[in-house]
Amino acid sequence: MTTSSAQCPTAHQELLADAVRLQPLLRESTLASEATRKLPDEVINALTDAGFFRLLKPRRFGGVHAPQRTVLEIVETLGRANASAAWLVSIAATAAVVARHGSPQAQSEIFSVPDSRIAGGLTPGNARRVDGGFSISGSWPYASGAPHADWASISVAVPDQDNGGTENFLCFVPASEVRLRDTWHTAGMRGTASQTWLAEHVFVPEHRAIGLDTLISGRMSGNQSGYRLPLAPMAALLLVGPLLGLGQAAADLVLQTAPSKSLANTFFAHQSDSAGVQIQLAEAKLKLRTARLHAFEVADALDEGQIVNGEAGYPLRAQARAQCGYAARQVLEAIHTLINVHGAGSFADSSAMQQYWRDANVGARHAALNAYVGYEIYGKSMLGVPERIAPLV
């Protein structure tokens, strides 16, 4: 994909069409993803060729500028076929925006290959200042897509000798300079390969470290006004996308099978004849619609510049955080209802429904989608309670 091909609405539609085009391959790869706990190279290559790993990277490095609405639609579409693939595209897009907060030199290094991928771990490790940068050590779990990554983004806490506290940084390290431990043994989202980075006394130059205060403020070097988006709501939003796709896939399965599937221990020849099934299906679809409405409201608010950085933008950022968590819960509730309709066969290994259920329940537990944390943040904001419970909102 060329840089210029994705700078217009027509190109955005082409991206969405590519997401639809890849759905058969993504569905076929599901069993392999489950067995190996990572996406097959064929899938990574297809996502790369479609330009999905260029999303939200700077145009000057061959990146693809797309609105949040478009990116959300892309990952939702991918999620209907393979939630792990959608998750990695979401993570890659978010990581690209994080890296845009780095120095010009860091960006030149990280984005020198337009299709490069970044996998991050946010649990702070240890670091100390040395000449020209930092020496880092530690382990960083939940690095989604790590086996396919070119760069590791690693959170560290550095002792501040001036005040006795610590400073927090996000460091970018070539994947070849750190080790990987296969720790990703989970019930769902197995294909994300969210493994653990390991480092021992690895040097990170100063220019490849981003201070937490920079991420909170949204400061970016150079002329990047089009991407001065609040990081926390954007990151949470893009994690909702794969869940929306899973919910729609579960609903599609029930709609496909209900007219021919019997309703056990009743006189109904088909599930679709039952008022109980009809009501549950309507309820589930409305929950999915509710989730989608909340998610796309956040996307549009980001695209229109309504949600901004700084203290003045905090109330809408708090609302967006709550909306994303609420959307995730609505998807979980919808899938729960759809499983009730589909029946006990949902839990057979051969049923796609059990994978939708597993993947959604794992994905929705990401810290950024913790609904009750989001509700508390939003509630405190509405009531004017000054206490802050999260560093990045």
Task: List Cα–Cα distances, 170 to 150, 209, 223, 291, in angstroms.
Answer: 16, 6, 22, 31
Tell me which of 111, 134, 155 is where a domain ends.
111
In the predicted structure, residue 311 carries a pLDDT above the cut 70: yes
In the predicted structure, residue 1 carries a pLDDT above the cut 70: no
- CATH number of the domain where residue 339 is located: 1.20.140.10
Q: 36 lies in a domain?
A: yes
Is 368 within 8 Å of 324 (Cβ atoms)? Answer: yes
- CATH number of the domain where residue 192 is located: 2.40.110.10
Residue range 21-37: average pLDDT? Answer: 95
Q: Are 74 and 142 found together in one domain?
A: no
The 10s digit of each residue's pLDDT in 342-381 is 999 999 999 999 999 999 999 999 999 999 999 999 999 9
What pLDDT is attached to residue 216?
Answer: 82
Alpha helices in the chain, H assignment, sequence order? 9-21, 23-28, 30-36, 41-49, 68-79, 83-99, 104-110, 212-217, 231-257, 275-303, 314-342, 352-363, 371-383
Q: 142 lies in a domain?
A: yes
Check residues 12 and 96 and name the one with the higher pLDDT.
96
Q: Are 279 and 345 found together in one domain?
A: yes
What pLDDT is attached to residue 4?
Answer: 37
Would you place residue 176 in the very low, low, confident or very high pLDDT band (cuts 50, 70, 90)?
Answer: very high
Would you place residue 322 in the very low, low, confident or very high pLDDT band (cuts 50, 70, 90)?
Answer: very high
Question: Residue 69 and residue 172: Cα distance in Å, rounded?
Answer: 28
Per the structure block, which two tokens stand in for 304?
A: 């229109």
In the predicted structure, residue 220 carries a pLDDT above the cut 80: no
What pLDDT is attached to residue 11?
Answer: 78
Q: Are 105 and 202 found together in one domain?
A: no
Domain of 373, in residue numbers:
231-383
Element (H, E) at 171: strand 166-174
Question: Residue 30 and residue 15: Cα distance in Å, rounded?
Answer: 22
Q: Tell me which DSSP letter residue 117 carries.
A: -
Q: Are 102 and 126 found together in one domain?
A: no
Q: Are 203 and 159 found together in one domain?
A: yes
Neighbours of 367 (CB within 10 A): 11
Q: 325 lies in a domain?
A: yes
What pLDDT is attached to residue 221?
Answer: 65
Q: 239 lies in a domain?
A: yes
The model's pTM: 0.94
In the predicted structure, residue 7 carries a pLDDT above the cut 60: no
Q: 224 lies in a domain?
A: no
In the predicted structure, residue 275 carries a pLDDT above the cut 70: yes
Per the structure block, which two tokens stand in for 225?
A: 């006004």
Number of domains in the chain: 3
Q: Are 66 and 184 found together in one domain?
A: no
- CATH number of the domain where residue 48 is located: 1.10.540.10
Would you place residue 278 in the very low, low, confident or very high pLDDT band (cuts 50, 70, 90)?
Answer: very high
Task: List Cα–Cα distances, 382 to 139, 321, 329, 369, in angstroms.
Answer: 38, 13, 21, 19
Question: Residue 223 and residue 17: Cα distance in Å, rounded?
Answer: 31
What pLDDT is attached to residue 5?
Answer: 40
Q: List strands edge to edge, sheet with 179-181.
A: 179-181, 195-205, 133-143, 118-130, 151-159, 166-174, 209-211
Residue range 26-41: average pLDDT? Answer: 94
Question: What is the average pLDDT score of the chain?
Answer: 92
Check residues 93 and 3 and name the one with the higher pLDDT.
93
Tell me which of 111, 132, 153 is where a domain ends.
111
What pLDDT is attached to residue 229?
Answer: 83
Q: 393 lies in a domain?
A: no
Q: Are 55 and 96 found together in one domain?
A: yes
* Nearest of 122, 178, 123 to residue 147 by alpha carbon: 178
Is 127 within 8 Å of 168 (Cβ atoms)? Answer: no
Q: Are 243 and 314 found together in one domain?
A: yes
What pLDDT is attached to residue 222?
Answer: 59
Q: Are 272 and 331 found together in one domain?
A: yes
